[in-house]
A and B are shown apart, each in its own frame.
Chain A
């Protein structure tokens, strides 16, 4: 926001300016302790823990960046965000599977090249997600802006509808579907003398470039300015003569599309199943709560933290023989710790 800063702001105490760094520092400390308890060699640390952690973080980022922006802009906590992620995943999986001429019972229209099918899957997934997201905002969320809690309850109902819908559509069904990777990204690369799947690298690159592009758009463009202003005070933006409702729909659609794109790339990595909507919704919540609801950079930091926490605790559990369930619970534990230290999340300005 282009607001002239009053001179008192410069006199902010050092302690306050360093506050956002405290929590990452605590986590670095925890990870360091983990490595002391269960040491790992450098190549293993990078290809076995850091890069898989970044891969998870890449998925979590695409999943949750939109959720955070949507909440920041319009105070809507979208419970169906994970379901849109799932929808994107199913669309991409469908393109990869049912358009494959080698697949028995394939659709009349087929595409011979696996790579092309993959790219089409990503585009279709993102577009369908954006379209469905905008539609949800226009038809279901919009009548309820005066009753915020009912938006939560309504989107919670949508989770059920999507779950049942996926099971109902014959091409999808209740079964869990295995991931299909495009031929160009099936091999693994040699990194520091260890193997590392190229698909994970693709995921990381895609997510990082998207993160940078969105950050630049948010900071440098007029629409980005409108969105950031809307996050601070949407009534004021409306008073300036900007159609905030249209921006709401746009951001809702964009956030949904981003989540669906995340689902589409994740589908070739983790597969698809009807329960993933709720499951990934929980991950998205954890990420945005850690980062601070409504904060874009918070979502990125939260995704990074959760992805790394997961792989670090996996490593710790494997090396020390602790119950494996602790690794699955670790993401939630990290969230509990962050919230106890800083209840508004790391990047919350209050």
Chain B
């Protein structure tokens, strides 16, 4: 069993790559769509875990980065002469990194719950500005309607080449996962973890923790912006919903359900949430469940129960099954929310 472990990622990637061919011809297109969304959400959850799980910073404004990536791509692609995809990609990365660094520079003056709340507030400013049906802002942001009818370069159009887009998002997800894994195992990543574990000690060891926290925010926001861009390419529209608190909460949910600080866990969490959502809203379960039991209510209750009784998430449960007694993620994050006003 142990000797087969290195093969696990290959099996997983192979399984996902052959998945589109496993469904019947009439439903495969639909399921490809579901899995494209799962892959995009997994990238988004991954970026959140880098920040929350590894650096110990709980941001409540992560949707801002997702939305920023999405809106950047949408605005560029709606130009009369849209720039090439490479330029769009570069722009999204630049916007994601600068926005992350800027938000970090503002909010990293404080830590603990204060950090959470400042990020929430900053994200909310953008949400309000992009949602507003204001004559001055609407030409750029689209207001409540959002930006519709985005023309995606024909080669990666998800409507005509659904399967190609499926493999594109899968490749992005796998690539970004390995990049994140590499980052975590690098000396820089070790400092991230050191900050999470004990920031004063990391400072005492001579690390400028502010720089590392800024770096973590910038990397995380760039990955989230890329996820936002993929979402816009798939949906062919951008709306203010991408910037809403709900999306941040989604990131939190996926991370908690999957297991904080495991990278792969939040990605599994993304799949769980999306599939559960699909399952609960499907016709079959609608008929089974009493009418008053709304899917959202089930979801909320399941989440509360998870937090109460399975705080280590899916990965924690898997590790327990395999008999590993590693320190749970609960312990790791014990200090994270303690208020530390002046840093």
Contact = CB atoms under 8 A, between A and B. Distances in A.
A89 B132 CA distance: 26
B292 A345 contact: no
B110 A293 contact: no
A336 B307 contact: no
Interface string B325-343: 0000010011011110111
Interface string A130-171: 000000000010011011111011101110110111011000
Contacts of A285: 117, 120-121
Nearest to B260: A149
Given A150-B330, A160-B303, A282-B120, 20 more contacts: A75-B339, A140-B304, A147-B330, A147-B334, A148-B338, A154-B304, A160-B300, A168-B292, A293-B114, A294-B339, A324-B134, A326-B129, A329-B124, A332-B128, A339-B109, A339-B114, A340-B106, A343-B114, A344-B110, A350-B342
A346 to B, nearest CB: 12
Chain B interface: which size bin?
35 or more
A148 B299 CA distance: 22
Contacts of A165: 297
A286 interface: yes
Contacts of A71: 113, 339
Interface of A: 71, 75, 77, 140, 143-144, 146-150, 152-154, 156-158, 160-161, 163-165, 167-168, 278, 282, 285-286, 289, 292-294, 323-326, 328-329, 332-333, 335-336, 339-340, 343-345, 348, 350
Given A332-B125, A344-B341, A344-B342, A157 B334 contact: no
Given A161-B301, A328-B132, A343-B342, A144 B125 contact: no
B196 to A, nearest CB: 12
A154 B253 CA distance: 10
Interface in B86-137: 106, 109-110, 113-114, 116-118, 120-122, 124-125, 128-129, 131-132, 134, 136-137
A156 B252 contact: yes
B106 A164 contact: no
B24 interface: no
B134 A161 contact: no
A168 B120 CA distance: 28
Given A150-B307, A153-B252, A336 B137 contact: no
A314 B249 CA distance: 30
Question: What are the 3 tightest A-B residue pairs by CB atom distance, in nearest-first order?
Answer: A325-B132, A344-B341, A160-B300
B245 interface: yes
Contacts of A343: 109-110, 114, 341-343
Contacts of B116: 152
A60 B337 CA distance: 25
B289 to A, nearest CB: 12
B182 interface: no
Nearest to A143: B308
B300 A161 contact: yes
A157 B120 contact: no
Contacts of B58: 149, 152
Contacts of A163: 296, 300
B128 A328 contact: yes
Contacts of A325: 128-129, 131-132, 134, 137
B125 A339 contact: no
B342 A323 contact: no
B137 A323 contact: yes
B338 A75 contact: yes
Interface string B134-160: 101100000000000000000000000
B287 to A, nearest CB: 18
B114 A282 contact: no
B294 interface: yes
A289 B137 CA distance: 29
Contacts of A292: 341
Contacts of A153: 252, 256, 307
Contacts of B114: 289, 293, 339, 343-344
Contact of A323 (B117, B136, B297): B136
Contacts of A328: 128, 132
Contacts of A326: 129
B311 interface: yes
Given A140-B304, A161-B304, A323-B136, A348 B341 contact: yes
Nearest to B255: A153
Nearest to A323: B134
Given A153-B307, A332-B124, A345 B300 contact: no
Nearest to B52: A149
B339 to A, nearest CB: 6
Nearest to A281: B245
Contacts of B125: 329, 332-333, 336
A207 B243 CA distance: 34
Contacts of B301: 161
B133 to A, nearest CB: 9
B61 to A, nearest CB: 11
Contacts of B122: 332, 336
B7 to A, nearest CB: 35
Contacts of B304: 140, 154, 157-158, 161
B297 A157 contact: no
26 contacts: A71-B113, A75-B339, A146-B334, A149-B336, A152-B337, A153-B307, A154-B304, A156-B249, A156-B252, A158-B304, A161-B300, A164-B300, A282-B245, A285-B117, A289-B114, A292-B341, A293-B339, A323-B136, A325-B128, A326-B129, A329-B125, A329-B128, A332-B121, A335-B118, A335-B121, A345-B341
A140 B292 CA distance: 24
